[in-house]
Amino acid sequence: MKKFEISPTTRRLARAVTVEDLRLAARARTPRAVFDYTDGGAGEELSMARARTAFSRVEFLPSVLRDVSVVDPSTDIVGRRAELPLVLGPTGFTRMMHYLGEPAVARAAERAGLPYVLSTMGTTPPERLAEEVPNVRRWFQLYLWRDRAASADFVQRAKATGCDTLMLTVDTPVGGPRLRDQRNGMTIPPQLTMRTFFDGARHPHWWFNFLFTEPLEFASLKHFNGTVAELSNIVFDPTASFADIDWLRTQWDGKLVIKGVQLPDDAARAVAAGADAVVISNHGGRQLDRSPTPLEQLESVLETVGDRAEVYMDGGVRSGSDIAAAVGLGAQGVMIGRAYLYGLMAGGEKGVDRVLEIMRAEFINSMQLIGVSTVDELRKQRARLRPPGV
């Protein structure tokens, strides 16, 4: 009888009990330039660090002697039920982190009952994603390109492939200063240099897949070979304005989410222009360093538009208790990017599954300890932010 063997990937993922464990595994398994592209932020990375610090300030307000033997972690997300108040947000160049790329993430999202957002800067076309993962709830993330005809084409392709929600990202008039990428000489796709050759000796599995699987290309922009900042400044439109949301509404009649709002008045203008939801986001600290911290902006944005639109946030979400913190402060839900990419880099599709398993278990445990059995109960001021330094 053949002896049953557990694969190294399975063992590695089973040992991970937090997303941080998977982050460390991802760092060990991925070339430095690729890991730093995922892990890093803009400038001195102050915004990125402050996002995590903000979650450390959250204090839950638990009720006791409540029956929490059974809890329901599901909620409505932009018109449809999701198994958690969580969206797998858009990430560019996903096949750079692991050769399976966006379809692997989408399949994990489908199993978890969560929406998945395909990025304009993804490495899988919307048509292919729809063919490979037809049953996941798919959204499409759009940047306003200098070429408006290209933006309109993306919208039509999203509609034709069954995406039910369009997410417009508005915090990228130009690219932010990614210092780690500059120091690493990071290009898209990675180039074979003397540095990457020696790095390849330490990460042979990644380099083998990079060299011998389907070439890494943008689904929407062929044959680009430069840095992320160079690409951003070629593609993104610094003249974009709120009037462009009016234009977008002539192209798209489905659900519309505006991501990258940071101030209450901008949230109000986005909703007035036709947004069904806004995402308080500073692009994960990857654009303007020293920008407002999303979790700390949640209260003021909710006060301004919470009665007219759904309000989400992202930035620094690394655990199920972080999800509970944001929802306990009033958010409809949160988005993650880095968190699931750590799982993808650590263990491919199974790694993304493991991230979502961990976060689900942590979220349910938080609900039980807070003393609530539904997400609606959790959303009723079951958390508060302690003053900084207290």
Dihedral sign (CA 78, 81, 87, 89): negative
Helices (H) and strands (E) in the chain — how many of each? 18, 12
Dihedral sign (CA 154, 78, 274, 243): negative
Helix, strand and coil content of the chain, in percent to the nearest 5, comes to: 45, 15, 40
For the chain, strand residue ranges (E) read 58-60, 75-77, 80-82, 86-88, 116-118, 138-142, 165-169, 255-261, 277-280, 310-314, 333-336, 383-385
The pLDDT tens digits for 325-368 are 999 999 999 999 999 999 999 999 999 999 999 999 999 999 99
Name the more confident of 78 and 240.
78
Task: Kindly tell me if the per-residue pLDDT of 375 is higher than 90.
Answer: yes
Structure tokens at 322: 């972080």
| Residue 223 a catalytic site member | no
In this structure, how many other beta carbons lie within 10 angstroms of the beta carbon of residue 44? 12
Task: Kindly tell me if the per-residue pLDDT of 3 is higher than 80.
Answer: no
Q: pTM of the predicted model, to two decimals? A: 0.93
pLDDT score, position 376:
97
Q: Which of 98, 203, 223, 283 is catalytic?
A: 283
Asked whether the beta carbons of 148 and 245 are under 8 A apart, the reply is: no
pLDDT score, position 1:
46
Share of the chain above pLDDT 90, in %: 72
Ranges 173-182, 220-229, 239-248, 259-268: which has the least confidence: 220-229
The pLDDT tens digits for 25-59 are 999 999 998 999 999 999 999 999 999 999 999 99
